[in-house]
Chains A and B, each alone.
Chain A
Amino acid sequence: MVQHQPALDRSFTALADPTRRAILLRLGRSEASLGELSSGFEMTLTGLKKHVQILEEAGLVATKKVGRVRHCKLGPRRLEDVTKWMTSYRNLLEERYDHLEAFLQHTKGTP
Protein backbone atom coordinates (compact mmCIF):
# COMPACT_ATOMS: atom_id res chain seq x y z
CA MET A 1 0.00 0.00 0.00
CA VAL A 2 2.71 2.43 1.00
CA GLN A 3 4.59 2.09 -2.28
CA HIS A 4 1.54 3.42 -4.15
CA GLN A 5 1.54 6.62 -2.17
CA PRO A 6 2.64 9.27 -4.68
CA ALA A 7 0.25 7.83 -7.24
CA LEU A 8 -2.48 7.75 -4.64
CA ASP A 9 -1.90 11.41 -3.88
CA ARG A 10 -2.25 12.29 -7.52
CA SER A 11 -5.33 10.14 -7.89
CA PHE A 12 -7.01 11.75 -4.92
CA THR A 13 -6.31 15.22 -6.23
CA ALA A 14 -7.50 14.21 -9.68
CA LEU A 15 -10.71 12.79 -8.28
CA ALA A 16 -11.40 15.70 -5.95
CA ASP A 17 -13.13 17.57 -8.75
CA PRO A 18 -16.61 16.59 -9.96
CA THR A 19 -15.87 17.69 -13.53
CA ARG A 20 -12.91 15.32 -13.65
CA ARG A 21 -15.01 12.50 -12.29
CA ALA A 22 -17.59 13.26 -14.95
CA ILE A 23 -14.85 13.17 -17.62
CA LEU A 24 -13.89 9.69 -16.42
CA LEU A 25 -17.50 8.59 -16.59
CA ARG A 26 -17.80 9.97 -20.10
CA LEU A 27 -14.60 8.24 -21.23
CA GLY A 28 -15.84 5.03 -19.66
CA ARG A 29 -18.58 5.08 -22.27
CA SER A 30 -16.25 5.62 -25.23
CA GLU A 31 -13.07 7.36 -26.28
CA ALA A 32 -13.42 11.03 -27.21
CA SER A 33 -11.34 13.85 -28.59
CA LEU A 34 -10.55 16.92 -26.50
CA GLY A 35 -12.88 18.91 -28.75
CA GLU A 36 -15.76 16.50 -28.21
CA LEU A 37 -15.24 16.58 -24.47
CA SER A 38 -15.06 20.35 -24.38
CA SER A 39 -18.34 20.80 -26.25
CA GLY A 40 -19.97 18.09 -24.14
CA PHE A 41 -18.98 19.88 -20.95
CA GLU A 42 -19.67 23.37 -22.32
CA MET A 43 -16.19 24.33 -21.30
CA THR A 44 -13.38 26.11 -23.11
CA LEU A 45 -10.77 23.88 -24.69
CA THR A 46 -8.13 25.42 -22.42
CA GLY A 47 -10.15 24.71 -19.27
CA LEU A 48 -10.84 21.17 -20.35
CA LYS A 49 -7.21 20.50 -21.31
CA LYS A 50 -6.18 21.38 -17.79
CA HIS A 51 -8.55 18.83 -16.29
CA VAL A 52 -7.46 16.15 -18.75
CA GLN A 53 -3.81 16.88 -18.00
CA ILE A 54 -4.36 16.36 -14.27
CA LEU A 55 -6.17 13.09 -14.99
CA GLU A 56 -3.36 12.02 -17.30
CA GLU A 57 -0.67 12.78 -14.71
CA ALA A 58 -2.58 10.55 -12.29
CA GLY A 59 -2.65 7.79 -14.90
CA LEU A 60 -6.44 7.81 -14.94
CA VAL A 61 -6.60 9.03 -18.54
CA ALA A 62 -4.34 8.36 -21.53
CA THR A 63 -4.18 10.67 -24.55
CA LYS A 64 -2.74 10.28 -28.02
CA LYS A 65 -2.33 12.91 -30.70
CA VAL A 66 -3.41 11.84 -34.17
CA GLY A 67 -2.85 14.60 -36.69
CA ARG A 68 -4.32 17.71 -35.10
CA VAL A 69 -6.72 15.88 -32.85
CA ARG A 70 -5.94 14.65 -29.34
CA HIS A 71 -7.83 11.47 -28.44
CA CYS A 72 -8.59 10.63 -24.82
CA LYS A 73 -9.39 7.31 -23.22
CA LEU A 74 -9.28 5.73 -19.77
CA GLY A 75 -5.70 5.34 -18.56
CA PRO A 76 -3.80 2.39 -17.13
CA ARG A 77 -4.40 3.29 -13.50
CA ARG A 78 -7.61 1.99 -12.08
CA LEU A 79 -9.49 3.31 -9.13
CA GLU A 80 -8.76 0.18 -7.15
CA ASP A 81 -5.53 1.79 -5.92
CA VAL A 82 -7.38 4.83 -4.66
CA THR A 83 -9.94 2.74 -2.85
CA LYS A 84 -7.36 0.39 -1.32
CA TRP A 85 -6.53 2.78 1.51
CA MET A 86 -10.21 3.37 2.17
CA THR A 87 -10.81 -0.37 2.37
CA SER A 88 -7.91 -0.92 4.79
CA TYR A 89 -9.17 1.90 6.95
CA ARG A 90 -12.68 0.49 6.97
CA ASN A 91 -11.43 -2.92 8.06
CA LEU A 92 -9.44 -1.28 10.84
CA LEU A 93 -12.51 0.62 12.00
CA GLU A 94 -14.72 -2.48 11.97
CA GLU A 95 -12.11 -4.41 13.93
CA ARG A 96 -11.81 -1.65 16.54
CA TYR A 97 -15.57 -1.56 17.01
CA ASP A 98 -15.63 -5.34 17.41
CA HIS A 99 -13.20 -4.86 20.28
CA LEU A 100 -15.26 -1.98 21.68
CA GLU A 101 -18.33 -4.19 21.62
CA ALA A 102 -16.50 -6.96 23.46
CA PHE A 103 -15.16 -4.43 25.96
CA LEU A 104 -18.63 -3.03 26.68
CA GLN A 105 -19.99 -6.55 27.11
CA HIS A 106 -17.12 -7.55 29.34
CA THR A 107 -17.44 -4.50 31.60
CA LYS A 108 -21.23 -4.63 31.81
CA GLY A 109 -22.59 -3.70 35.23
CA THR A 110 -19.66 -1.46 36.05
CA PRO A 111 -20.38 2.25 36.18
Chain B
Amino acid sequence: MTSAAKRYEHLLSTPSDRQIRVERIFNAPRERVWQALTNPQLVAQWWGRGNQLVIERMEVERGGHWRFVEHAPEGAQGFEGRYREVKPPERVVQTFEWDGMPGHVIVETVTLEDLGDGRTRLVNVSLFHTTEERDGMLSSGMEQGMAESYAALDRLLLR
Protein backbone atom coordinates (compact mmCIF):
# COMPACT_ATOMS: atom_id res chain seq x y z
CA MET B 1 0.00 0.00 0.00
CA THR B 2 1.32 3.45 -0.84
CA SER B 3 1.75 6.02 1.91
CA ALA B 4 -1.05 8.10 0.38
CA ALA B 5 -3.46 5.20 0.61
CA LYS B 6 -2.37 4.60 4.19
CA ARG B 7 -3.26 8.17 4.99
CA TYR B 8 -6.87 7.52 4.01
CA GLU B 9 -7.12 3.99 5.30
CA HIS B 10 -8.54 4.94 8.68
CA LEU B 11 -11.43 6.70 6.94
CA LEU B 12 -12.96 3.40 5.99
CA SER B 13 -13.43 2.19 9.51
CA THR B 14 -16.91 3.71 9.82
CA PRO B 15 -18.30 4.97 12.09
CA SER B 16 -15.10 5.51 14.05
CA ASP B 17 -13.71 7.93 11.49
CA ARG B 18 -15.81 10.73 12.89
CA GLN B 19 -15.90 9.50 16.41
CA ILE B 20 -13.77 10.06 19.46
CA ARG B 21 -13.91 7.71 22.41
CA VAL B 22 -12.54 8.66 25.78
CA GLU B 23 -12.62 6.28 28.72
CA ARG B 24 -11.77 7.05 32.34
CA ILE B 25 -12.01 5.14 35.59
CA PHE B 26 -12.74 7.35 38.58
CA ASN B 27 -12.08 6.34 42.14
CA ALA B 28 -15.60 7.35 43.19
CA PRO B 29 -19.02 5.67 43.34
CA ARG B 30 -21.30 6.13 40.33
CA GLU B 31 -23.80 8.32 42.16
CA ARG B 32 -21.06 10.83 43.01
CA VAL B 33 -19.80 10.90 39.44
CA TRP B 34 -23.35 11.35 38.20
CA GLN B 35 -23.86 14.27 40.56
CA ALA B 36 -20.57 15.86 39.46
CA LEU B 37 -21.79 15.69 35.85
CA THR B 38 -25.37 16.86 36.34
CA ASN B 39 -25.50 19.13 39.38
CA PRO B 40 -24.71 22.70 38.25
CA GLN B 41 -23.11 23.61 41.57
CA LEU B 42 -20.66 20.73 41.21
CA VAL B 43 -20.11 21.17 37.46
CA ALA B 44 -19.06 24.77 38.14
CA GLN B 45 -16.17 23.46 40.23
CA TRP B 46 -14.37 21.42 37.57
CA TRP B 47 -15.75 21.93 34.03
CA GLY B 48 -13.90 25.20 33.51
CA ARG B 49 -10.49 23.51 33.76
CA GLY B 50 -9.37 25.98 36.40
CA ASN B 51 -11.03 28.94 34.66
CA GLN B 52 -14.04 30.68 36.10
CA LEU B 53 -17.18 29.03 34.73
CA VAL B 54 -20.52 30.75 34.32
CA ILE B 55 -23.40 28.33 33.90
CA GLU B 56 -25.94 30.37 32.00
CA ARG B 57 -28.33 27.48 31.47
CA MET B 58 -28.40 23.88 32.54
CA GLU B 59 -31.72 22.09 32.17
CA VAL B 60 -30.82 18.45 32.72
CA GLU B 61 -33.80 16.81 31.04
CA ARG B 62 -34.70 15.57 27.60
CA GLY B 63 -34.82 18.58 25.25
CA GLY B 64 -33.31 20.90 27.88
CA HIS B 65 -30.65 23.45 26.97
CA TRP B 66 -27.24 24.00 28.47
CA ARG B 67 -24.85 26.89 27.99
CA PHE B 68 -21.55 27.33 29.83
CA VAL B 69 -19.08 30.19 29.43
CA GLU B 70 -15.46 29.75 30.46
CA HIS B 71 -13.70 32.95 31.45
CA ALA B 72 -9.98 32.52 30.78
CA PRO B 73 -7.40 35.33 31.05
CA GLU B 74 -7.21 35.46 27.25
CA GLY B 75 -10.96 35.76 26.80
CA ALA B 76 -14.33 34.05 27.18
CA GLN B 77 -15.35 30.85 25.43
CA GLY B 78 -18.97 29.77 25.15
CA PHE B 79 -20.20 26.19 24.80
CA GLU B 80 -23.74 25.00 24.46
CA GLY B 81 -26.10 22.28 23.43
CA ARG B 82 -29.21 20.33 24.29
CA TYR B 83 -29.84 17.21 26.26
CA ARG B 84 -31.23 14.40 24.15
CA GLU B 85 -31.42 11.69 26.75
CA VAL B 86 -30.98 11.73 30.51
CA LYS B 87 -31.06 8.41 32.35
CA PRO B 88 -29.80 8.71 35.93
CA PRO B 89 -27.35 7.57 37.06
CA GLU B 90 -25.94 5.91 33.97
CA ARG B 91 -26.39 7.72 30.68
CA VAL B 92 -26.53 11.22 29.17
CA VAL B 93 -26.73 12.02 25.47
CA GLN B 94 -26.25 15.67 24.62
CA THR B 95 -25.16 17.90 21.78
CA PHE B 96 -22.07 20.08 22.11
CA GLU B 97 -21.23 23.18 20.13
CA TRP B 98 -18.42 25.66 20.64
CA ASP B 99 -19.05 29.32 19.73
CA GLY B 100 -15.72 29.37 17.92
CA MET B 101 -16.75 26.59 15.55
CA PRO B 102 -20.24 27.50 14.37
CA GLY B 103 -21.78 25.00 12.02
CA HIS B 104 -20.28 22.02 13.79
CA VAL B 105 -22.11 19.91 16.28
CA ILE B 106 -20.91 16.98 18.32
CA VAL B 107 -23.24 14.40 19.80
CA GLU B 108 -21.78 13.17 23.06
CA THR B 109 -22.93 9.96 24.68
CA VAL B 110 -21.63 9.57 28.22
CA THR B 111 -22.19 6.32 30.08
CA LEU B 112 -21.26 5.51 33.66
CA GLU B 113 -20.64 1.96 34.74
CA ASP B 114 -20.57 0.94 38.40
CA LEU B 115 -17.50 -1.25 38.75
CA GLY B 116 -18.79 -2.61 42.07
CA ASP B 117 -15.68 -1.71 44.07
CA GLY B 118 -16.40 1.94 44.64
CA ARG B 119 -15.02 2.93 41.26
CA THR B 120 -16.84 4.09 38.16
CA ARG B 121 -15.98 3.71 34.50
CA LEU B 122 -16.94 6.71 32.33
CA VAL B 123 -17.08 6.29 28.57
CA ASN B 124 -17.58 9.32 26.35
CA VAL B 125 -18.28 8.69 22.68
CA SER B 126 -18.41 11.88 20.63
CA LEU B 127 -19.66 11.89 17.08
CA PHE B 128 -18.84 14.85 14.81
CA HIS B 129 -21.34 16.36 12.41
CA THR B 130 -21.94 19.58 10.56
CA THR B 131 -25.16 21.32 11.59
CA GLU B 132 -26.28 20.94 8.00
CA GLU B 133 -26.02 17.19 8.36
CA ARG B 134 -27.76 17.19 11.70
CA ASP B 135 -30.67 19.15 10.25
CA GLY B 136 -30.82 17.10 7.09
CA MET B 137 -30.48 13.76 8.80
CA LEU B 138 -34.20 13.12 8.92
CA SER B 139 -34.81 14.09 5.34
CA SER B 140 -36.29 11.31 3.30
CA GLY B 141 -34.27 9.13 1.03
CA MET B 142 -31.17 9.28 3.16
CA GLU B 143 -31.35 5.71 4.34
CA GLN B 144 -31.65 4.43 0.81
CA GLY B 145 -28.69 6.59 -0.23
CA MET B 146 -26.61 5.30 2.66
CA ALA B 147 -27.42 1.68 1.82
CA GLU B 148 -26.33 2.22 -1.78
CA SER B 149 -23.12 3.90 -0.69
CA TYR B 150 -22.27 1.09 1.68
CA ALA B 151 -22.98 -1.46 -1.04
CA ALA B 152 -20.52 0.37 -3.28
CA LEU B 153 -17.97 0.39 -0.50
CA ASP B 154 -18.47 -3.33 0.11
CA ARG B 155 -17.85 -4.02 -3.56
CA LEU B 156 -14.69 -1.95 -3.49
CA LEU B 157 -13.34 -3.72 -0.43
CA LEU B 158 -14.02 -7.14 -1.91
CA ARG B 159 -11.95 -6.43 -4.99
> Which A residues fall within an 8 A CB radius of B?
1-2, 5, 8-9, 12-13, 15-19, 21-22, 24-30, 40-43, 74, 78-79, 85-86, 89-90, 92-97, 99-105, 107-108
Known contacts A17-B149, A78-B7; is-contact A28 B156 (Cβ 8 Å): no
Known contacts A86-B20, A104-B32; is-contact A29 B103 (Cβ 8 Å): no
Q: Least Cβ distance of A62 to chain B in Å?
A: 13
Known contacts A18-B153, A28-B4, A74-B4; is-contact A86 B103 (Cβ 8 Å): no
Work out how many contacts link A and B, with CB atoms closer than 8 A.
138
* Chain B residues within 8 Å of chain A by Cβ, number: 54
Interchain CB contact under 8 A, B22 and A93: yes
Interchain CB contact under 8 A, B8 and A79: yes
Known contacts A17-B149, A18-B152, A24-B8; is-contact A103 B126 (Cβ 8 Å): no
CB of B11 within 8 A of chain A? Answer: yes
Partner of B152, one of A19, A25, A100: A19
Interchain CB contact under 8 A, A89 and B27: no
Given the complex, which residues of A lie within 8 Å of B8, measured CB to CB?
Answer: 21, 24-25, 28, 79
CB of B24 within 8 A of chain A? Answer: yes
A108 to B14, CA, bound (A): 40
Q: Least Cβ distance of A22 to chain B in Å?
A: 5
CB-defined interface of B117-152 with A at 8 Å, one 1/0 digit per residue? Answer: 000001010101110110000000000001001101
